[in-house]
Amino acid sequence: MSDTLDLTRRLVSIPSHEDESAAGDAVASWLHAETDAAVRRDDAGNVFARRGDGDRSLALVGHHDVVAPADEQTDGDAYVVEERNGRLSGRGTADMKGSLAAAMVAFRDADPEVELVFASFAGEEQGGVGARAAIDAGFGPDYAVVGEGSTGYSAPGVTDVAVAHMGRRGSTLVAHGESAHASEPEAGENAIYRACDAVDVVRDLDAPTATVLGQELRGSVAVTEIEGGSAWNVVPDRCAVTVDERTVPGERADLERAESVPGVEWVVDQDLPPMACDDADFADAVLDAARTVQDGDPRHVAKPHATDAGWLAAAGTTCVVCGAAEPGEAHTAEESVAIDVLVRCERLYRGVAESI
């Protein structure tokens, strides 16, 4: 059996939802012990390694932080890791220590024609904190394969290659008014009424669309929360409306229009960028590597979820997303990943490193 399974077990067992430093230590120590690469850590908790040379660079990218586990996924100070029915279960198996382990083994074993880079970011689950810090410090490979899940999109069990994914912009519409006693509503300006007018603007917005290498993406805009008022007999002077927008490459909904309502301001709280692969030849090369390691017929696909590939692509790196996790596995109490797909991804990553 490949070293990928044992390494996945080791990484998954290490808690990394509140403090990912121990998981980062494990990644760095394995790279020091198993490779002759130049390995370094940065102040954000990211781990990097480089080997080989050439006029181009390819990065195998993942992250070693996870979301908080369910109670049944912990045992004292460790995470529970279990193998059953050909799958490895535990917090982080799918998202994404399994694919991270596959990338580490491929990084060690590949014979690349390019400079081969490995990067494991911290803080991906907190909005790409590690990736953003790395990019700000100059991290910018020519190409990257980001190991988030791409298995099971075109057909069950098939590891596809995502050439695009959605982003997420979370924002708040804040309506300001003037309080008054509810028995004399005309003496004030009702912030809830203004917020409702702003919601009507949002309802009329068109959802953005885009096409990337033949893959169609359709965004969405939805009001998800509303909060306002202080008492049953007081005209409210403030009301806040949460808006969830799923963005596509190159297009955004015109949420600024909501500020045409008097007293309403629009505040962006989070903006995770979408990703679009800008090099069809690279996307095809990764797809060719995917075809050589499985019996299925992998395809180019698009993902609905944001990943660190969005930050890298926005900074100029040509990206695809390719990994072992299947839709619906990440962030669940039953999170698991197929062992044979982990080994498949190890071979796939190595194939990409040796073919571009």
Q: Do 295 and 121 contact (CB within 8 A), yes or no?
A: no
Distance between CA atoms of residues 305 and 326, nearest Å: 12
Pair type for strands 209-212 and 215-218: antiparallel
CATH placement of domain 167-272: 3.30.70.360
pLDDT digit string, tens, across residues 71-118: 999 998 889 999 999 999 999 999 999 999 999 999 999 999 899 999
Alpha-carbon distance of 258 to 198, in angstroms, equals 5
Q: What number is the average pLDDT over the span 243-247?
A: 97
For the chain, the 3-state helix, strand and coil shares in percent, each to the nearest 5, are 30, 30, 35
Average pLDDT score, the chain: 97
What does the pLDDT read at residue 1?
A: 53
The pTM for the full model equals: 0.93
With pLDDT > 70 as the criterion, what percentage of the chain qualifies? 100
Instruction: Extract the tokens encoding 294.
Output: 């499985």
- Per-residue pLDDT at 77: 86
Domain ranges (residues) in the chain? 3-165+274-353, 167-272
Given this model, what pLDDT does residue 337 score? 98
**Does the pLDDT of residue 296 top 60, yes or no?**
yes
Q: Identify the CATH class of 3-165+274-353.
A: alpha beta
Instruction: Please say if the pLDDT value at position 131 is more than 70.
Output: yes
Q: What is the Cα–Cα distance from 28 to 38, expressed in whole angstroms?
A: 10
CA distance 284 to 353: 14
Three-class secondary structure of residue 260 per DSSP: helix
Q: Which residues 6+ apart lie within 8 Å of 267 measured at CB?
A: 171, 172, 173, 174
Average pLDDT (245-258) is 96
- How far apart are the C-alpha atoms of 59 and 331, rounded to whole Å? 25
**Domain 3-165+274-353 and domain 167-272 have a common topology:** no
The predicted-structure confidence for 40-65, as pLDDT tens digits, reads as follows 999 999 999 999 988 999 999 999 99
At residue 113, the pLDDT reads 87
Q: pLDDT tens digits for 172-230? A: 999 999 999 999 999 999 999 999 999 999 999 998 999 999 999 999 999 999 999 99
In angstroms, the CA 242 to CA 46 distance is 32
CA distance 350 to 332: 29
Q: 318-346, pLDDT tens digit by residue?
A: 999 999 999 999 999 999 999 999 999 99
